[in-house]
A and B are shown apart, each in its own frame.
Chain A
């Protein structure tokens, strides 16, 4: 029956784009891999960081592992953030998934788990030294029905990065409430800054705000029910309040036309001293310190704070939007032990510390991100993420694809003034009802 799916996908692609072609990595196999004896065999490894500044780290780990295990060969491929979503779907249909592959936590990973494409890693993690080495929130992001399916590689969260110079010049201090954040924008504007740099050309920057505000406006149990793959109702009033609060914040503190500005262009406004702050990922801190692209005036003159609490809102005020990135192991792999062994090596304390040092990513491995190998801002952010009572996983990966798309397009319309919070939620509810009907 799976062959039908393959033919079907081929049919759709050939039908519409007769001249187009696609290719994917091929799975190779050999025998003899065990976790106790000498490891041999060939495994494929697909990750999503082809940028040379990140790939260098993965290349080194692969080289170190194969040097230590001469009988092992690793077919390492890196595909960009957007194409990997399509490639994984095509490879799944063709039953050609790599032995180790990237997946975002939430429903994105859960689809592979439900479809039987991800190996249960609980026996490798439960009560073992390796399992205990991870921050529990990071490992928990890849749990499904009480079992562990994914290995987190980094620790990520959303915070506001702000220019200390801009805040000083405008006489503004770090806001302690959402209302205070909005109020600070008038002073920052008066001082000549765009208070919040915001570019939503890709859609996800707005979704990250909504993820955070949904967490703060809607109780956790309601969200868990609504985000579930079986589909929820999305009738809680907090969802509309979150959208209204977001629209109000961007209208007050952002610039017009944010749907036509890229996230990177907005970030350049912050680093060039034109904007005062930006809501960004901890993994992006490395961009703010890049001496080749960032003006010297900005380097070292910024700090960060988490989204302040919304007074009187019914959700969790100490939740932080974020999730680790991580890897799943193909359940149909002939070399599950070998794949797990490689992941153990990749997430060993030494390699995790090296990752933080070389590419600046905070690690979910306990004690791997320290003041010795990471910037002060990164260490502070990791502390805040670990202290957060909840890690709110990205809305566009935790919810079903239909619901996520309804949010993505609806929020774009909201920013332009073509949609209202009520009309966006109507679209979300329609999408959720469809998911529910098909569950």
Chain B
């Protein structure tokens, strides 16, 4: 009994360093963030002032905060449609329709954008989206005369950034689906063929159900990614024009480091936490459910 207890203690000792690191660098800041969201403070004011729920009232009454939430939701919806829906179709086409020789080439072409730094992608698309940029010139080929500043106008700024993000990430998720499809036993496809199923029926009856785990995982990753998005906005619009392309991450940054309003920023951080924590909980719940089913 004593020996068993000693062996267990040694085990706990091994996990202690990781536990301490997690406590200090993850859980303590989370708790501290909740506490500080009740104070008004900034880098130049050494003594935080207790303001209760005032920061929460300010955040929820701020139209820019709601613009940011809506933009994040749009980001998530479009990203799921492209990086999960279209990526799956693309992967199925690559594996089932495209000639084997062309497959490798197309996979590389789709994947290349994911390897480029977001700073470079941002710079590239700032040029493409200029009034005299490539996009307007391309539209001109079809007789659409446009001098629109895609990143400079409130109506199109966030949509243009979301489109850029899909261009960059579609290839990456497509590759993940390709790997998932390659793991499906060929017998299922042969059986579908024998049963007389066409390509579309085979896709919905074989491919979609058998890549369900990957689909769920990518949905959760894409949704949490959409609520943590930051670099894409900073590399292009920085939240402008007139705050129309703010997302929670950039609004937090601007409130903390430009407006010197750390108390307000901590509330935005709490909201981000709520969204990403919910996504993580759903992921955990789903994986537990799957394990039970299996």
Partner-B contacts on A (CB < 8 A): 1-2, 4-5, 7-12, 14-18, 85-86, 89-90, 92-93, 111-112, 114-115, 117, 200-203, 255-262, 265, 401-402, 405, 408-410, 412-413, 415-416, 418-419, 438
B185 at interface (Cβ–Cβ under 8 A)? no
Output the nearest chain A residue to B30 by Cβ-Cβ distance.
A15
Within B7-44, which residues are at the interface with A (CB < 8 Å)? 25-26, 28-30, 32-33, 36, 40-41, 43-44
Additional A-B contact list (17), CB under 8 Å, known A14-B30, A258-B149: A4-B48, A5-B48, A9-B256, A9-B262, A14-B26, A14-B29, A15-B269, A15-B272, A17-B228, A92-B43, A92-B44, A111-B260, A117-B44, A202-B238, A402-B259, A410-B242, A412-B240
Docked pose: A424 CA to B78 CA in angstroms = 32
Q: Is B249 an interface position by the 8 A CB rule?
A: yes
Q: How far is the CA of A1 from the CA of B49 in the complex (A)?
A: 11
Point out the residues of chain B lying under 8 angstroms from A93, CB to CB. 43
A112 touches B262 (CB 8 A): no
Contacts of B130 in A (CB 8 A): 257, 260-261, 265
- Residue of A at shortest CB range from B230? A17
> Does chain A have a CB within 8 A of B148?
yes
> Does B153 have its Cβ within 8 Å of any Cβ on chain A?
yes
Question: What's the least CB distance linking B190 to chain A, in Å?
Answer: 44
Q: Is B131 an interface residue (CB 8 A)?
A: yes
B129 adjacent to A419 (CB under 8 Å): no
Q: Does B2 contact A (CB under 8 A)?
A: no
A240 to B126 Cα, complex, angstroms: 31
**CB-defined contacts of A10 to chain B, threshold 8 Å:** 29
CA distance A115 to B30 in the complex (A): 28
Closest to B236 in A: A201
Q: Which residues of A contact B241 (CB under 8 A)?
A: 259, 409, 412-413, 415-416
Residues of A within 8 A of B108 (CB): none
Number of chain B residues close to chain A: CB under 8 A: 51
With a 10 A CB-CB cut-off, give which of B41, B259, B268 has the most chain A CB atoms: B259
Contact indicator B269/A201 (Cβ below 8 Å): no
Contact B154 A1 (CB under 8 A): no
Chain B: which residue is nearest A3 at the CB level?
B46
Whether, in the assembled complex, B45 has its beta carbon less than 8 Å from a beta carbon of chain A, the answer is yes
Query: Known interface pairs A17-B230, A90-B43, A115-B44. Does A11 touch B32 (Cβ–Cβ under 8 Å)?
Result: yes
Q: Is the CB of B242 within 8 A of A409?
A: yes
The answer to whether the Cβ of B243 comes within 8 Å of any Cβ in the partner chain is: yes
Asked if residues A85 and B32 are in contact (CB atoms below 8 Å), the reply is no
With contact pairs A8-B262, A262-B126, A412-B242 given, residues A2 and B152 touching in the complex (Cβ less than 8 Å): no
Interfacial residues of chain B within 225-260, with CB under 8 A of chain A in the complex: 228, 230, 238, 240-243, 249, 252, 254, 256-260
B residues whose Cβ falls under 8 Å from a Cβ of A = 25-26, 28-30, 32-33, 36, 40-41, 43-48, 126, 129-131, 147-154, 228, 230, 238, 240-243, 249, 252, 254, 256-262, 265-266, 268-269, 272-273
User: In the complex, what residues of B have CB within 8 A of residue A7's CB?
Assistant: 29, 32
| CB neighbours of A201 from chain B (8 A) | 126, 151-152
Are B43 and A418 interface neighbours, CB within 8 A? no
Q: Report the minimum CB–CB distance from B230 to chain A (whole Å).
A: 7
- A259 cross-chain contacts in B, Cβ below 8 A: 149, 151-153, 240-241
| A-side contacts of B258, CB under 8 Å | 85, 401, 405
Between-chain CB contacts (< 8 Å), 12 pairs: A4-B48, A12-B36, A14-B29, A15-B266, A17-B249, A111-B44, A259-B149, A259-B152, A259-B241, A260-B150, A405-B258, A413-B242
Query: In the complex, what residues of B have CB within 8 A of residue A8's CB?
Result: 32-33, 36, 41, 48, 262, 266
Select A89's contact among B29, B260, B269, beta carbons within 8 Å: B260
Contacts A89-B257, A265-B130 known; A409 to B152 CB distance under 8 Å? no
State how many angstroms separate the Cβ of A190 from the closest Cβ of chain B. 20
For A402, the chain B residues whose CB sits under 8 A away are 259, 261
For A11, the chain B residues whose CB sits under 8 A away are 28-30, 32-33, 36, 266, 269
User: Whole-angstrom distance between the alpha carbons of A81 and B156 in the complex?
Assistant: 28
